[in-house]
Amino acid sequence: MSDYITFNICSHYASAIVNGDYSGLEDHEERELNDFLDNLTREYGSQDLNLIDLEDQFNFKLCEVSNLMGDCLEFNLIPA
């Protein structure tokens, strides 16, 4: 069993997750991200996502925040 859980999240959410900078997000995207992060806290006891190495990233996948396809980055979460 791994010590972390991996999430695919669209790259435009990265600044908000890593730096707390929501300035590039639309209001509905900010709400989606906050709902996603709140759910992580409820489900896993943490919302501290760590960005995985950017090399070979930006894969076109289903974003787990918006449930839309997009250029995603992988983030790890270590449950509390």
Q: Residue 58 has which token pair?
A: 């930006």
Give residue 59's pLDDT: 83
Q: What is the 3-state secondary structure (H, E, C) of 25-75?
A: CCHHHHHHHHHHHHHHHHHHCCCCEEECCCCCCCEEEECCCCCCEEEEEEE
Domain count, the chain: 1
Report the C-alpha gap between 70 and 3 in whole angstroms: 27
To the nearest whole number, what is the mean pLDDT of the chain? 92
Give residue 80's pLDDT: 84
pTM for this structure? Answer: 0.89
**Tell me: the pLDDT tens digits for 19-58?**
999 999 999 999 999 999 999 999 999 999 999 877 766 7
- Residue 73 domain boundaries: 5-77
**Whether the predicted pLDDT of 1 surpasses 60:** no
